[in-house]
Amino acid sequence: MKHFSKLILLVIVSSLFSCKTNTIKDGEALIYAMYDTYNGKFLRSIAFEQTVTYCTPEKKDSTEVWLEVYKFPNRLHIREQSFESGNGMIFCNDSVYYFKNNVLQENHAQIHYLILLSLDVYSQEPAITIQKLKKCNFDLSKMHTEHWNERETYVIGAIEGDTSSNQFWIDKEHLYFVRSIFKRDNGVIREIRFTNFCMLEDSWVEQEVLFMLDGKLEMKENYFNLRIPENISDSCFIPSCFSTARW
């Protein structure tokens, strides 16, 4: 009887999820579904290390280890090789700041749509996410489904057969980001793939990211030592505090 009750509960939950996904007809509905499914559950900070492997002819198979930390909303700090290197970048307030030897080299406005679609989307008001995605030139009215890496996905921003328009791919079952195709102003196609997902508490997190230009692998990142820090100082994301930031 106890086993039967659990089975009935599983059927009900599956039916509710099926009803929710059946109402997803465009990108805006998908963003609301991602938020509704994970709001209050998804991690709001994460720190990890990553092995960066370059695959271009100039840097073939050369590797580096980077340090990264994220804090909701929309904040990411990256250190190349170590804190002591003084090299890295900060993404915050829809801008990016590049540092070399602890000196700011450049900064400009940039919506980091990967942060938006893999992290912010689950805790941020959907209207904000939708507005930012439109600014990144994703057409949220276009949607179709594709089979990708043996899983069903939603494809937002392109109709079936279109492999050059700006688009992002979301796993249909778990609602995590798996792929994007983005055309740069110079016409070059940038493709990014998130793979090798694991559960970190109640959140799905990728452990490998592939960066491709015009179909050729340019760089890959492999994440390790993933953890949710108890406290991350907001100063880690203030450009003037770059040289002293630690986590």
Strand 177-183 versus strand 88-92 pairing type? unpaired
pLDDT tops 90 at residue 156? yes
| pLDDT at residue 237, rounded to an integer | 98
More confident residue, 187 or 241: 241
| pLDDT at residue 10, rounded to an integer | 41
Closest by CA position to 60, among listed 220, 209, 207: 220
Domain 2-244 CATH class label:
mainly beta
What confidence tier does 1 reach under pLDDT thresholds 50, 70, 90?
low
Tens of pLDDT, residues 105-123: 999 999 999 999 999 999 9
| pLDDT at residue 2, rounded to an integer | 47
% of the chain exceeding 90 in pLDDT: 85
pLDDT tops 90 at residue 162? yes
Tens of pLDDT, residues 11-57: 444 444 455 556 899 999 999 999 999 999 999 999 999 999 999 88
What confidence tier does 7 reach under pLDDT thresholds 50, 70, 90?
very low
H-run or E-run covering 133: helix 126-135
| pLDDT at residue 148, rounded to an integer | 97
Cα dist. 201→41, 42, 49, 174, 226 in Å? 9, 9, 18, 14, 11
| pLDDT at residue 184, rounded to an integer | 86
Query: Is pTM, for the whole model, over 0.75?
Result: yes
pLDDT tops 90 at residue 160? yes
- DSSP labels, 36-66: HHHTTTS-SEEEEEEEEEE-SGGGTT-EEEE
Q: Of 9-13, 39-43, 72-76, 170-174, which range is least confident? A: 9-13
What value does the mean pLDDT take over residues 151-176? 97
Tens of pLDDT, residues 216-245: 999 999 999 999 998 999 999 999 999 999
DSSP state of 188: P
Structure tokens given for 246: 């630690």
Angle between helices 126-135 and 27-38 (to 10 degrees): 140
